[in-house]
Chains A and B, each alone.
Chain A
Amino acid sequence: MCLLTDCFTMSNQPLPLSQETLAQFNRSQSTEPGPPGPPRRRLASISTRRSSKDHSKDHPHPRPLFLRAMTGPSSESSFMSPSVSTSHMSMGKRFSFAGWHQGGRVSFSGLYLQQPIQEVYVENTYRTGPEPSCRFSARRTQQILQATLDAYLEGVCYSADSCSQLCQMLADLVLSKLKDVNPPRYKLVCQVVVGQSGDHGVRVASQSLINPNTDNYTSAVFQNHSLFAVAVVHGVYFE
């Protein structure tokens, strides 16, 4: 989000070109009586008015769009609510936001000014291994895995139609839970196998080419009268 900081400094310098062009818009598109003051044109309102607070209650306020390309200084537009107008002054765009409102018109003639995208440079950390406290914990992962399987599959019956979705949902659920406790610089691979309990044999095995100092895996099994589930999670350090 370092893109925002550069534009804050420029937020008080309006560009003259827009005034002219937008004044033209105001004249050409005035169709309804506006409130006293500057015309309440969504198209024109971006640059002509410095304070849109009096009109803010008239419009629904979609959240300001976070852009990568900061287009330079501009005043608040009518759709920006007072509470966010200061913090998002730099977010103002040169082109109209009419498209955000129902039935609005969008026009881009000569208003859009593009600023170069600021590249984010990350410094070298010179770290070649995980920190001692930030390793993949197989025990904790196994607890989370087992708890998730038990909670989610309690009382569930095997059904050929729904179990494929259930399987994918379990895999995504497990991954989302593990992402919260995942140490930095670790990649996760989670595989879930769900099958019907019966008189047949099943074997699930995995072998991996990993670094035993930094990487690890864990697995959990759940079984009830109609189905069984096996979940395997590998945590791999990313150098």
Chain B
Amino acid sequence: MDEDQSEETTFVVDEITTIIKETVETTNGNNSYQHEKINQWMSSIAEISLSQLTKLGKPFKYIVTCIILQKNGAGLHTASSCFWDNTTDGSCTVRWENKTIYCIVSVFGLAI
């Protein structure tokens, strides 16, 4: 019973990585970078990710950050720093790319 409780209240990285990967692939697919459509893609990635995460039914607050970068030879770095409870909270980052875009999605889960 203790294991079930701990499953419920800890951030499981693998499960969430899988969800996010599927979301990004279904949303972006093989699209090329189009400036007009980027807004729409990002909103749908974030929204679908969040709805999938809430379906897990865990007592967590989620923050989903999405970065879309056009492939142009330029460099990008991202870092995060968090002030939380290490035992219950966690984060995961998913990197996805196709021929013209890089997509980085970070999910932070904070236990209530």
Contact = CB atoms under 8 A, between A and B. Distances in A.
Interface stretch (B6-14, B18-26, B76-84): B76-84
Of B71, B72, B73, B81, most buried by chain A (CB within 10 Å of CB) is B81
Contacts of A170: 79
Interface stretch (A93-101, A113-121, A148-156, A186-194): A186-194
Contact of A201 (B33, B49, B53, B89): B33
Contact of A195 (B66, B69, B83): B69
Contacts of A196: 74-76
Contacts of B74: 195-198, 200
A209 B62 contact: yes
B61 A236 contact: yes
A189 B64 contact: no
B19 to A, nearest CB: 14
Contacts of A41: none
A187 B83 contact: yes
A198 B72 contact: yes
B21 to A, nearest CB: 18
Contacts of B106: 191
Contacts of B85: 187, 238
Contacts of A179: 83
The 4 closest A-B pairs by CB, nearest first: A207-B46, A200-B72, A171-B81, A195-B76
Interface of A: 158, 160, 163-164, 166-168, 170-172, 174-175, 178-179, 182, 187-211, 215, 217, 232, 234, 236, 238-239
29 contacts: A158-B75, A163-B77, A171-B81, A174-B81, A175-B83, A182-B83, A188-B83, A190-B81, A193-B76, A194-B77, A194-B78, A195-B69, A197-B74, A200-B70, A200-B71, A200-B72, A200-B74, A201-B70, A202-B67, A203-B39, A203-B42, A205-B42, A205-B66, A207-B47, A209-B62, A232-B65, A238-B110, A238-B112, A239-B112
